[in-house]
Amino acid sequence: MNLLLYLLILHCVGTAGGLFLRKFRLPAGALVGALLAAMLINSMYTTDLLYPYELRLFIQILSGLVIGTRFTRSDIRSLRSMALPVFILMAVLLATNLLFAFIMEYSTELSFMTSFFACAPGGVSDLALVATDFGAVMEHVALLQLFRLVTVILVFPPMIRKMLGIGSQAKEKTLVLTRKEGTIPTHVLTFLCALSGGLVFHALSIPAGAILGAILAVAVLNLGSDRASYPLSLKVMVQIAAGTYIGSRITLSSFASMHILLVPALILVVELFFMAFVAAFILHKVCHLSWATALFSATPGGIQEMGLISDELGLETPKIVLMHTFRILAVLGVLPFMAGLFG
């Protein structure tokens, strides 16, 4: 089988799996479905063909484009009152990440880099794509990050709702977290900015430069003109592409080492509770955020999922979305440099 045919089959299967799970409205359904489908086909048909580095770089740039459009002028205005909570949240999450990475490294067979990215409160696809650049075992990072996301979405919202006695709102609401659809010229302009920024940062050998450069370039475009946009289907396409890439790296041999991940998974659960409640306590006491808002802001789940759930419960959704946006930006912007420093 040649490389082109292999990629065609892999991405067709990944797309089918991603669209199938997305129909069930599961958290990160497109990503998880593509990952599982690609992993299945990759395990059934073993091959020595490697996923092209250039294609992975392109996926990183597109991921950066989607993330960069979240950074808008309204975020800057909100920062006047949210600067301190954002700073506290980022400091606590990054410090906790580093602490539990050392704990995981010394308590398990995982290397520091694998532990560091597995403990990071970031996105499944973003961190798995970046972790490879630092010598981490991408399969282990992806599986543990997927475990983190599922745990957060399934456990924390109902737990917080029961703890604080929050009831669902009588009227249903829909929170639109994707950017405005825009026009074809604005899509092209945004893509060219992301591509230029990603390639420049990559050429400068900046850690995770492709995704960071794309984020920065698109954020600057959006702050300056408020014109950054992308087709609404692009986010799903990026999730499917990232899931397909990650799934292509997970084979039967990866699951043969699942016993290695049992203890790291337990450590990860402890980290999630420690991270959420310590950060929420500080935000509540120092910044006077409500307990519910503080807990949802400090819980490292997906921006879209946590935003929709908080909106359903009638919480301060704009603040929560803003905090999660800067959490992702901090993870992708600071974590690579921390990895280089402590690794």
Tokens 């990603």 appear where?
198
Closest CA to 279 of 82, 93, 81, 79: 93
User: What is the C-alpha separation between 127 and 121, in angstroms, rounded?
Assistant: 9
| Cα separation of the two ends of the chain | 38
Q: What would the 3-class secondary structure string for 12-61 be?
A: HHHHHHHHHHHCCCCCCHHHHHHHHHHHHHHHHCCCCCCCCHHHHHHHHH
User: What is the C-alpha separation between 310 and 287, in angstroms, rounded?
Assistant: 19
Kind plus residue range of the DSSP H or E element containing 60:
helix 53-68
| Predicted pLDDT at 172 | 41
| Predicted pLDDT at 112 | 93
| Predicted pLDDT at 129 | 73
| Predicted pLDDT at 151 | 80
The pair of three-digit structure tokens given for residue 37, joined into one six-digit string: 């489908």
User: What is the C-alpha separation between 302 and 123, in angstroms, rounded?
Assistant: 7
Class of domain 3-342: mainly alpha
Per-residue tens of pLDDT for the chain, all 343 residues? 688 898 999 999 999 999 998 888 765 678 888 988 998 888 787 677 788 989 989 998 998 898 888 777 776 676 677 889 989 999 999 999 999 999 999 999 999 999 999 999 876 666 777 788 888 888 888 888 878 877 876 677 778 778 877 654 434 444 344 445 568 889 999 999 999 999 999 999 876 788 889 988 998 998 888 788 899 889 889 889 988 888 887 776 666 777 889 999 999 999 999 999 999 999 999 998 888 889 888 988 766 567 656 766 777 777 887 788 788 777 777 888 888 888 6
Q: Are 116 and 311 in contact (CB under 8 A)?
A: no
Q: Are 323 and 85 in contact (CB under 8 A)?
A: yes
336 CB-near residues (< 8 Å, 6+ apart): 130, 133, 134, 206, 207, 208, 212
Domain ranges of the chain: 3-342
DSSP code string of 185-197: HHHHHHHHHHHHH
